Structure 1
């Protein structure tokens, strides 16, 4: 985390610039969906089996753009993500709900500042299976809830000061047509100045990302995911149902699957790559490049040693072969001399 504060990966209809690299806050033009977010040395995240983001042909998304927020301007940095692109279709498509609010005004020396948001969902049933939260240094706790048939259920409550990435829920949460989504970010400002919304570390943000799966119909395959955004407080009366304990951060992530061991990761890779048509896409980081360089150097040294050994062997063979030739010539000379002497005697 010495180089980048956070990193966001998007799939886009068009990139904001016609360049491989550019600076600025613009990421995509046209349709766009965030597919991963990372901050604070968070652990890796993998999608569930048979779930994937639809990209490429017959979808709105033709490009992948990685947006990195650096602590300072760097040269020769290789921060990035590792992605897998496969031609195998997935049973379920993935989408991400970006929820939060722009209504952030953190008055100086003020604690427990709430910034609620809410919306109503209209669409096919979706299943939330992973979440990620994001604020800057003043965030205390982010929470997200579902209201279904007048019953409120907690989806996620997390401390945004912990490592930020997508975390798998122990149990998926279904969101059905006409359900409500509501949530809030809670802030504490102990400074003698007011903090406003913004993307720099001197500003604040309130974001909760909910990753979900859904079964695409034939009509929706070419369309964006059904629930891209839940922003600001569209349904004020629903936000009033947010529980009082939402201001208290959890002691631990006891309802979230935090860890992914190596066996799970390898198994996921094998499952995704078990077709000869699959193609891995790797955006290398510094460690990848270091390993590649060392491997190339070792291979070069091995080839050099083998080449020298082969050269010595050829030289030795040549010398031995030369001795044989010389001996044969000597034998022929001696034989000719002997024949001449016999002729004289005759």
Structure 2
């Protein structure tokens, strides 16, 4: 097997648009993913994350560039690659006519697994997903978090070398997200390679060993979450709210406080090594925000610095 389980070089995907120039959904992406690594594609909706995942998953051909999955070209060896992958799509596409156990069993049969092996694997994965007590429940009787865990369990039925997760926790409440994160941490500990797309910066920081920040189909930055924050942001951020009608008016009076000031529609961000000291300077200048918050920098701040836009639009 190659050292990298995924290798992309100058990857491009274009779509024909009637009466207009071709649309480049993915524009010259280059990255590698090592065995057992948790690798993330971070960016807003429409950044090209899902399109990249479809090419990696060997269900969409690339327009140009190079791509190898487990040492194979997906344009030539799609079925062989797909047999070694697990896929968790953005939307749960479970069979509503079947119960939880049957969803796993039937999916295993699609891979040509013997019935006895499917049954054994289904029980193992129900336990992994903490769904043993829901094994006989139809899909419609499951909560959103349970459906998501079942979808992940289904993607593991063939013992994949790589698990692709497209926006794994979109629409879930905080408790369900943390339960799902715990299941994914366990997969990492087993040595499963994870590749996930997300527009949640906290999810990327929690799950990813390394990631690329993508916008409009291009890589804006890449590295570990901590290295990207160190390189592109300050240690802390002071968030101030003076009211949506006053933020832009107050912003010029904050010049020189901290390393950088960003004005958003609902708040002002002051980037500084010491957020509390920055807040003291704000109040010493006679300015009284409606609310203030000091927090550590996040990948959201990295994206804002690189693109001038928020991750979640």
TM-score, structure 1 as length reference: 0.22
Structure with the greater relative contact order (CA < 8 A, sep ≥ 6): 1 or 2? 1
Higher Cα radius of gyration: 1
- Greater helix share, structure number: 2
